[in-house]
Structure 1
Amino acid sequence: MTRTSRTAMDAFAEALSALRLDHAEFRRVEIAPEEVRVAAGASGRDGLQTLVGYQVCTGTCVLERAGSPDLVLAPGTFVVLAHGEPHGLRCTIACCSLVAVRFGVETSSAPWLLPVLPALVRGEATACLQAVQSAALAWIPRAEAGVPGADAVLRRMAEAWLVQAIGLLAEAEPDLRRRFAAASDEIVQRCLALMHGRPAAPWTLPMLAREVHTSRTVLAERFAAVVGEPPISHLTRCRLGAAARMLRQTSWSLARIAEAVGYQSEPAFCRAFRRQFGAPPATWRRQAAAA
């Protein structure tokens, strides 16, 4: 493996480690002979990208997408639709059983990884991926029965499943590795790791530049070229994305959430949140709970 390949794969491994799911849904799907299941396109929310995955357990089915050739999925085959596009699943002769996974990925956790992914990721499941599938099948009934912690277990299994699936794709596709290399930047990735690892820290552009051992000008230019926005703008979105997750998943007060994501006052946090999401945090929390 060349030095360029190693650099690309190192950056890719770091991106996979940083990837975070806002939510995930595992379920088992049974399709009768000649039956067609239609899946509507995913409606993404601000800061989230929806991916849909399938792994065939038994039987054979056909994945249908508008404008694309049909794809036959046999036992052991996995597929990920990276943009949650509308599609259909059609069983062929015998009954087909498969595991369906829907992922809500925080885009701020993988700013260059998700855009590089092809619309369709397909491969053959390894023993590790099969093991995750088997474990998920055992936990699905527990989650449906409301067993405490079962949903959290399935969410982490979904994260493990997705990381392995994307990792297998990168191993098999040299062209994709070159695209990862072009999209990655060591300085930018270190800066992103600092932001995502400690979003509440009082980061400034000079502080970030010192931490990644470069100048403010170089960091600002390279960060904007790779991520598409200035470092501090991205930090704000990262903090507010984390705040939105806390609003959905905890009963913390607004003051506690503001402090946890690096705001010195609750009013400043509320103003920033409203600019980003179009509603004050308390209103947004009620709307998210209702949805």
Structure 2
Amino acid sequence: MLYAQTTPEAKRRAFRERLSSGELLRMPGAFNPLSARLIEQKGFDGVYVSGAVLAADLGLPDIGLTTLTEVAGRGAQIARMTDLPTLIDADTGFGEPMNVARTIQELENAALAGCHIEDQVNPKRCGHLDGKTVVDEATAAQRIRAAVDARRDDQFLVMARTDIRATQDGEAGLRAATDRAKALVDAGADAIFPEAMRTLEEFAAMRAAVDVPLLANMTEFGKSELFTAQQLADVGMNLVIWPVSMLRISMGATGRALDELNASGSLSGKLDEMQHRADLYDLVDYQAYNHFDTDVFNFTVSR
């Protein structure tokens, strides 16, 4: 009832233990607290919160317009509704190293299990768009050192994301990515998020380059082919995210429903596509509130 029963510290410890097991953890992107609960109900391993989704939720493009306050606040709303660990996108850390340090402590306070900080130049761009620019290695490493030094709970996962692969073509880009990943691990990163890998062979090359957990981003309409979870496990990935997928599916369905309303004036033909009221009440654990007030849940819902 109300919020998750597992403490943030316990979620972080469990997340670290699962990461060290060598298995692949599946973390779909939640676009609100209710979708995080559904991700848990469906048996996934964790919840991911995308910066692109947070920006889109505000009607903004993913170009670094969101603030630390907005991101930490929404992250807290999502994390508190699930017993799963929640990993959040912290963009470039919202400023210089001191800002990165504050970002980490705010995200700890928001009960997140970890975050990733990228090496793009501000204003950043979506990781699968062309025209990205990354900072130099020293600046990227400084961000990660600031993040690691600032955390108070050493179980909070500091992941470094590098976008350098997409800034160069072919073997040069992959070599730059592996070199940058090694430097970020040396700076203290607990895990690496190599953005915009194109093939399984590139993921395998990253696996060979560093000995920390690796994240694969399976976002649609981007640079990476959409590999299955098993394919990614076979090349040694430790986490896979589908960051914007649930939002895209939900918005696609909403668009079709609005078209139907325009066309026919009713949604009676869409009932089989909707979440039933009974399922919604089950997801929000309506009945548990009856433990505190027997007048709250004193009805039945027919399916």
TM above 0.5, yes or no, is no
Higher helix share: 1
TM-score for the superposition, normalised by structure 2: 0.26
Instruction: Choose between structure 1 and 2: higher strand proportion.
Output: 1
Instruction: Give the TM-score, by structure 1 length.
Output: 0.27
